[in-house]
Amino acid sequence: MKITRVEAIPFAIPYRKPLRFASGEVHTAEHVLVRVSTDDGVVGVAEAPPRPFTYGETQAGIVAVVDTIFAPQIVGLSLLERETAHARLARTVGNPAAKSAIDMAVWDALGRTLGVPVTQLLGGYTDRMRVSHMLGFDEPAAMVAEAERMRDTYGITTFKVKVGRRPVSLDTAVVRALRDGLGDAVDLYVDGNRGWTAAESARAMREMADLGLLFAEELCPADDVLARRWLVSRLDVPFIADESAVTPADVTREVLGGSATAISIKTARTGFTRSQRTQHLAEGLGLEVVMGNQIDGQLGSLCTVAFGASAQLTSRRPGELSNFLDMSDDLLAEPLCITDGELTIRPGAGLGAEIDPDKLERYRRDR
C-alpha cells in the first residue's frame, strides 16, 4: 500500500458548446489527470479542473505544483496515512484542485487495493443521486430548449440557472421563460457567480419572487460583507455559499457571519477528505448541502456522485452531475449514463473508473 509515484498529466477536450457564466466561460476542458501508483501495482485516478477565475489555478500550474511540491511529499506514504498526506499538502496554501485530485486518487487506490467502492468507504448511504443540470448564459428560448432536451432525454427536472448579467432583467427573463416553458414540474435555482451587487441581487430576487426558486447561490461578492448580510437577511430561500466557502473554516465564517445559509460541496476543490469535514460541519450547523459542479468531466462527476451518495445529507438534494454532457468526448472507457434523472455510482472497486488508454494518448498535452 506504499505510494510509489504521483503523476499529473495535462489533457484537453473541446466542449461542443461553451458554458458561460458571470465569472468566466469554458470552451475546452483543459484538465489534469492525476495518477497515484503503489508498490502493489495499483493505480488510483482523479481529475483536476483548473478554474483560474475562481481559485487562480491553471493547467500548467497544477502540473508544476504536483510535480515539484506535492509528489515528493506524498511518495513513500501508505494509502492508510491519508491524514498525514492531508497535513503535508496543507503546508502549501491554495491549489485546491491539485490537492483534491491527489486526495481522491489516493482514496481510489485504497478502494482498489481493498476491493471495495470508495463510496462505501466514505459512508455507503445509497448508490445514486438525482441530477441537477447547470444552464449557462444564452437567450431565453435557447435556455428553455436546452432544459427541455435535458428533461426529455435524461429525465432531469432540476436546473441551476446562471445569472449575474446586467441589466438583471436579462436573467430574470430567462428564469421566467423557464418557469413558463417547463411549468411547476421542474425545480429551479439561480447562481450569480458574484456578478451582481447586493442591491441588484435583492431586486432580481424580488422580480422572481413568484417563480418558486429553491435556492439562490453566490449572487454577489462575499467581500461586500455588510451588503451581503443585508441581502441574505431579506431572502426567503436558502442562500448557498459556493466559491466564498471553499474550506471548512470559510463555511464557519460565512454561516456564523450571517452571509450564507446553505453550502455547495465540490469534490473538485475539497477532495474526499476535506469534503467530509465540510459535510460533518454542515450537519452540525444544520445547513442544506448541494453537491456542486466545478465544470467536471466524467471522472470528476464520478467523484462527486461517489461522495454525494455516501451520506444522507449530501444525497438529499439533486447533485450537479451533468455538465460533462456538453463535452465532445471524455477519458473514461465506459461513459457515464444519466437515466430517469439519476446517476448511479460505479459498482467496481475504488471509483470504478477505467481510463481509455487510446483516448488519453489522443488528448494528453505533454507529448
Chain residues binding ligand MUC by CB under 6 A are 21, 23, 51, 54, 191, 193, 242-243, 292-295
- Of the candidate spans 2-10, 68-76, 210-218, 271-279, the one that interacts with Mg ion by CB under 5 A turns out to be 210-218
Q: Verify whether residue 294 is a known catalytic residue.
A: yes
Shorter beta-carbon distance to ligand MUC: residue 112 or 215: 215
Give, in order, the Cα–Cα distances in Å from 302 to each of 257, 266, 272.
33, 12, 12
Shorter beta-carbon distance to ligand MUC: residue 74 or 295: 295
Would strands 128-135 and 342-344 be described as parallel, antiparallel, or unpaired?
antiparallel
Name which of ligand MUC, Mg ion, none residue 295 binds, using a CB cut-off of 5 to 8 Å depending on partner kind: ligand MUC
CA nearest to 223, candidates 250, 247, 263: 250
Name which of Mg ion, ligand MUC, none residue 187 binds, using a CB cut-off of 5 to 8 Å depending on partner kind: none
Q: How many degrees, rounded to 5, is the angle at CA 112 between CA 85 and CA 345?
A: 100
Q: Verify whether residue 162 is a known catalytic residue.
A: yes
Q: How many degrees, rounded to 5, is the angle at CA 360 between CA 359 and CA 362?
A: 65
Q: Residue 143 in contact with residue 84, Cβ under 8 Å?
A: no
β-bridge mates for residue 117, sequence order: 350
Shorter beta-carbon distance to ligand MUC: residue 100 or 294: 294
Name which of ligand MUC, Mg ion, none residue 51 binds, using a CB cut-off of 5 to 8 Å depending on partner kind: ligand MUC
User: Site size for Mg ion, by CB under 5 A?
Assistant: 3
CA distance 367 to 357: 14
Q: Verify whether residue 217 is a known catalytic residue.
A: yes
Shorter beta-carbon distance to ligand MUC: residue 23 or 78: 23
Name which of ligand MUC, Mg ion, none residue 54 binds, using a CB cut-off of 5 to 8 Å depending on partner kind: ligand MUC
Name the one residue in this structure whose C-alpha cell is 486526495.
103
Name which of ligand MUC, Mg ion, none residue 275 binds, using a CB cut-off of 5 to 8 Å depending on partner kind: none
Q: Which of 7, 108, 127, 191 binds Mg ion (CB under 5 A)?
A: 191
Q: Find the catalytic residue in 47, 218, 266, 296.
A: 266
Shorter beta-carbon distance to Mg ion: residue 146 or 242: 242
| Residue 195 CB partners (closer than 8 Å, separation 6+) | 22, 23, 163, 164, 165, 166, 219, 220
CA distance 304 to 84: 23
Q: Find the catalytic residue in 294, 296, 326, 330.
A: 294
Q: Find the catalytic residue in 171, 217, 320, 326.
A: 217
Give Cα 151 to chain centroid, integer Å: 21
Q: Verify whether residue 103 is a known catalytic residue.
A: no
Q: Which of 242, 254, 296, 342 binds Mg ion (CB under 5 A)?
A: 242
CA nearest to 40, candidates 341, 355, 305, 350: 350
Q: Which residue is nearest to ligand MUC (CB)?
A: 54
Residues making contact with Mg ion (CB under 5 A): 191, 217, 242
- Supply the residues annotated as catalytic: 162, 191, 217, 242, 266, 294
